[in-house]
Amino acid sequence: MLDGNDDFYKDLIDNLYDGVYFVDRERMINYWNKGAERITGYEADKVVGRYCRDNILNHVTANGTQLCMTNCPLAACMQDGNIREAEVFLHHADGHRVPVIVRAAPLRDKQGNIIGAVETFSNNAAFITTRRELREMRHNAFTDRLTDIGNRRYLEGRLRAVIADFNHTNGGGAGLLFIDVDHFKNINDAYGHEVGDKVLHMVASSLKHNLRATDMLGRWGGEEFIAIVYDTPDARALEEIASKLLALVGCSRLDLESQSLAVTISIGATLLRTDDTPESFVKRADQLLYQSKQAGRNRVTIG
């Protein structure tokens, strides 16, 4: 604990950017630094001598659970001597909530007895903003902006992962669907690229919403899509999934001002083999897709 003879340490702690306060065993606040004043809006003379259990800061979690009365980090660390850390939202003197990272640690006397605790806290807004920006950057890096599904970079990573998993589990069963929108150039020529973009988005949405949650979908490029499907023990199971997608895309309609536009897709489907690389896996499915095109389109070829 700090007292009147500890001016050196008081000045040192007062100049910290983080908020710092000390409590005794009864959780009465006996020191409140300048950082705590700045972050909370509460001046030391309004806080020192009061109990943190009076809910001055009124810490809550992201879902609104109150901590001061039930799960107080300070009380917990004084009970078992272990340091606690948490992301919480404190009550500012102006009424709003401030995101902070708190760290509570026990204070001991020379004999090792716990005589109180210290809590440090720092404004977490910058960290939350940075984390959100990183999450958005990651999303943008692996998402096709036009269709809002995975992009080629995303698919290449998933292909490496599925092959590594397949080899590790000695053949867990996975398949690949190489999908192409039939006569897409004709659509762009007849209706323009804006309509063509809407068609790609419609097809991507139909595929995405009708694959299973465990399957992966992405835009390979142009009007080509790839779906990686898991838990496909044999060609029949893979064909059932592909045929479902074929039918549902064929039933989709893009409503234009004067008409509705429908499209079909062609699919090449293949199961993962023990000697496959990402390149051989995709190449085989692409060759099967070509066979579907040659056979008249709007069909699935399994191989």
- Give me the active site residues, please: 223
* CA distance linking residue 219 with residue 66, whole number of Å: 45
| Residue-wise DSSP of 99-137 | EEEEEEEEEE-TTS-EEEEEEEEEE-HHHHHHHHHHHHH
* CA distance linking residue 247 with residue 264, whole number of Å: 8
- Could you tell me how far CA 71 lies from the centroid of its own chain? 27
* CA distance linking residue 286 with residue 299, whole number of Å: 14
- Three-state secondary-structure class, residue 92: coil
Please state, as a whole number, how many other Cβ atoms lie within 10 Å of the Cβ of residue 103.
17
Torsion sign (Cα): 177, 180, 182, 187: positive
* CA distance linking residue 303 with residue 205, whole number of Å: 26
What is the chain's length?
303
Q: Residue 217 in contact with residue 226, Cβ under 8 Å?
A: yes
228: left (phi over 0), alpha (psi -120 to 50) or beta: beta
Angle at 291 between CA 285 and CA 245, to 5 degrees: 60
- Three-state secondary-structure class, residue 201: helix
